[in-house]
Amino acid sequence: MSDLAARRQREARAEALEARVRTLEQALELKTAMLREVDHRTRNNLQLICSLMLLQSRRLQDEAARRAVRTTLERVNAVAAVQRHLLQGEDPRRLDVANIVRDLASDLAAATGRSEIAVRLELEPVALPSASAAPFSLVVNELLGNALKHAFPGERAGLVSIGLRGTAGGAVLSVVDDGVGMSGHTPGLGLTIVELLCQQLRAKLAIAPGPPGVQATVRLADEPPG
């Protein structure tokens, strides 16, 4: 082959390669845009569900029915908190659940309207498999929700401490209050949900009922739920 023919061949190959890279870059851009769109839609849809439940609860006269709808709204919001953080980290397969706990704590504390109850957070960054994040978020929602709703009856003041730290094999969550304690109470739907989700997460749940105060500890192993 002459020098000229060889050069033309090299140029043609380089052009073909460039065209292929451009096509792949465009395909990647499209997929990324689709992913963001799906994430955006999912968040908006969850927000819509929460708004519908809020509207419904406002129309209910019956206090028990109103409370049930509000509690369900809080549970959906706990799942929505996970979705809000899903695409924020570098690797969507793992999520820093400390950020989720922070969001939930501020939402739930604000919803009580009880300034005499302080919420203290001692959170280390803990990256869990993203499949564990929604059940984990719901567990936090139930335990913290219980402390805020039941530990300080009347206008009793108090403190709820939420701790999260990473361990060699996983993570430990603690929700501790200095309220009235829960000896003698039978589990309702909230604690039943906590037990079921801890089984799903293969986490060990321990609840010291007090008095004084309730201490709940959840020990997670670092493996996604099956």
Ligand X SMILES: Nc1ncnc2c1ncn2[C@@H]1O[C@H](COP(=O)(O)OP(=O)(O)OP(=O)(O)O)[C@@H](O)[C@H]1O
Binding site for ligand X (CB under 6 A): 71, 142, 146-147, 149-151, 177, 179-180, 182, 185, 187-191, 214
Q: x-or-dash pattern for Mg ion, window 153-192, by CB under 5 A? A: -------------------------------------x--
**Cα-flanking dihedrals φ and ψ of residue 163, to 5°?**
-115, 145
Q: Of all residues in this chain, which one has the CB nearest to ligand X in the complex? A: 190
What are the Cα distances from residue 17, in Å, to 8, 12, 26, 30? Answer: 14, 9, 14, 20
What span, in angstroms and rounded, lies between the C-alpha atoms of 71 and 190?
Answer: 9
Structure tokens at 207: 């609840």
Minimal distance in Å, beta carbon 199 to ligand X? 16
Q: Which does 102 bind (CB under 5 to 8 A by kind): Mg ion, ligand X, none?
A: none
What span, in angstroms and rounded, lies between the C-alpha atoms of 77 and 174?
Answer: 21
Q: Which is nearer to ligand X, 14 or 189 (CB)?
A: 189
Is 100 strand, coil or helix? Answer: helix
Cα 184 versus chain centre, distance:
30
Could you say whether residue 99 binds Mg ion (CB under 5 A)? no
Contact segment (CB under 5 A) with Mg ion among 14-22, 31-39, 40-48, 143-151 equals 143-151
User: Residue 19 burial by CB count (10 A; 0-12/13-18/19+): exposed, middle or buried?
Assistant: exposed
- Tokens 């604000």 — which residue? 110
Question: What's the CA angle centered on 210, arms 98 and 103, to 5 degrees?
Answer: 20
Minimal distance in Å, beta carbon 178 to ligand X? 10
Minimal distance in Å, beta carbon 168 to ligand X? 29
Q: Which is nearer to ligand X, 47 or 72 (CB)?
A: 72
Q: Which is nearer to ligand X, 77 or 146 (CB)?
A: 146
- By CB under 5 A, the count of residues binding Mg ion is 2
Minimal distance in Å, beta carbon 189 to Mg ion? 7
Could you say whether residue 141 binds Mg ion (CB under 5 A)? no
Q: Which does 179 bind (CB under 5 to 8 A by kind): Mg ion, ligand X, none?
A: ligand X
Residues in the chain: 226
What span, in angstroms and rounded, lies between the C-alpha atoms of 95 and 179?
Answer: 32
Q: Which does 211 bind (CB under 5 to 8 A by kind): Mg ion, ligand X, none?
A: none
In contact, 165 and 124? CB cutoff 8 Å: yes
Q: Which residues bind Mg ion (CB under 5 A)?
A: 146, 190
